């Protein structure tokens, strides 16, 4: 297959000056969390800012269309509540305490105010297969209006990249990729189709899949390559060889 030609035509490489900052930082995965400091919490974000690290966070949509900083689709693992995040209003969600430290679930707007441009921010947009993505993408775009700090959005869902390419092209957008062992022609086709749909400015790649022919090819033609989740010194060494920047946690934090 003529992959390089099709990639250049259907997913052009970004302007290097626009996305060069992405490879100049390391990012704390869901903030700099540990025992007693919950992931995606204000405390974890404060620790990352104090350490001078960029921040990676996750956002989901509340029932009333706000961007909420939370990884899981359900509340059960990280709070004393249960049920889907999408069923609760922003007021209900921000009143819920996170397990372990009593801090409350923040909104994206809260997080932007906390960072205030001090460190770069990667926003992973969490979607549900088969459901529309526009409402959450619009919520993220609304919150980012006027924000002057370095920031980018990314998602496993190529529809998110496509939405931002059309509706907010000024926001750098990334495609999150995991190969899950699919190094077949079918797997390659699936990755290229996602690339062409998302038209990303960068890739965020599963460290378990590096080195990867697909990732190396996109990096060579100008897409910054970030990798997740770097959680050990050994994985950090691999990332230093095969990627431009790391999204790290635990023992992977240098």
Sign of the alpha-carbon dihedral angle for 100, 104, 107, 109: negative
Give the span between the Cα atoms of 183 and 212, in whole angstroms: 9
Helix, strand or coil for residue 245?
strand
C-alpha 34/C-alpha 63 separation (Å) is: 29
Element (H, E) at 16: helix 16-19
**CA-closest candidate to residue 123, choices 231, 22, 217:** 22
Tokens coding 113: 């105010």
Q: List per-residue pLDDT tens for the chain, 254 residues long.
A: 689 999 999 999 999 999 999 999 999 999 999 988 999 999 999 999 999 999 999 999 999 999 999 999 999 999 999 999 999 999 999 999 999 888 999 999 999 999 999 999 999 999 999 999 999 999 999 999 999 999 999 999 999 999 999 999 999 999 999 998 888 999 999 999 999 999 999 999 999 999 999 999 999 999 999 999 999 999 999 999 999 999 999 999 97
Tokens of 33: 């969390």
Tokens representing 10? 């259907």
pLDDT of amino acid 181 = 80
In whole angstroms, give the CA distance from residue 76 to residue 66. Answer: 20
Structural domains of the chain sorted by starting position, each given as residue range(s) with its CATH number in brackets: 3-252 (3.20.20.190)
Rounded to whole angstroms, the Cα distance separating 21 from 104 reads 31
pLDDT of amino acid 102 = 87
* pTM above threshold 0.75: yes
Q: Is 17 in contact with 204 (CB distance < 8 Å)?
A: no
Q: Nearest-CA neighbor of 157 among 195, 188, 205?
A: 195
Tally Cβ neighbours within 10 Å of residue 148: 7
**What is the pLDDT at residue 64?**
98
Residue found under tokens 């966070």: 57
Q: DSSP letter at 121?
A: E
Partners of 158 in the β-ladder: none
Q: What letters, b where the CB count within 10 A reaches 16 and e where it falls short, cover 103-132?
A: bebbbbbbbbeebeeebbbbbbbbbeeeee
Would you list the DSSP string of 162-219?
Answer: HHHHHH-TTS-EEEEE--TT--SHHHHHHHHHHHHHH--SEEEEEGGG-S-HHHHHHH
| Distance between CA atoms of residues 164 and 162, nearest Å | 6
């Amino acid at each position: 297959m003529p992959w390089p030609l099709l990639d250049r035509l259907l997913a052009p490489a970004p302007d290097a000056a626009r996305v060069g900052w992405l490879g100049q930082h390391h990012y704390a995965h869901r903030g700099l969390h540990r025992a007693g400091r919950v992931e995606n919490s204000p405390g974890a974000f404060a620790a990352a800012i104090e350490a001078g690290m960029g921040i990676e966070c996750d956002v989901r949509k509340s029932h009333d269309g706000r961007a909420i900083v939370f990884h899981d689709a359900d509340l059960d693992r990280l709070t004393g509540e249960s049920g889907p995040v999408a069923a609760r209003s922003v007021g209900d969600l921000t009143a819920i305490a996170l397990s372990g430290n009593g801090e409350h679930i923040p909104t994206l707007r809260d997080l932007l105010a906390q960072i205030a441009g001090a460190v770069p921010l990667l926003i992973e947009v969490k979607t549900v297969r088969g459901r529309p993505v526009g409402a959450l993408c619009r919520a993220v775009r609304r919150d980012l209006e006027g924000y002057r700090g370095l920031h980018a959005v990314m998602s496993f869902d190529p529809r998110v990249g496509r939405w931002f390419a059309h509706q907010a092209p000024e926001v750098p957008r990334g495609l999150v990729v995991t190969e899950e062992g699919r190094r077949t022609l079918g797997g390659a086709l699936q990755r290229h189709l996602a690339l062409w749909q998302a038209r990303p400015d960068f890739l965020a790649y599963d460290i378990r899949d590096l080195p990867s022919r697909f990732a190396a090819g996109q990096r060579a033609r100008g897409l910054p390559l970030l990798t997740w989740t770097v959680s050990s010194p050994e994985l950090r060494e691999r990332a230093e060889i095969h990627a431009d920047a790391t999204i790290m946690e635990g023992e992977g934090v240098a």
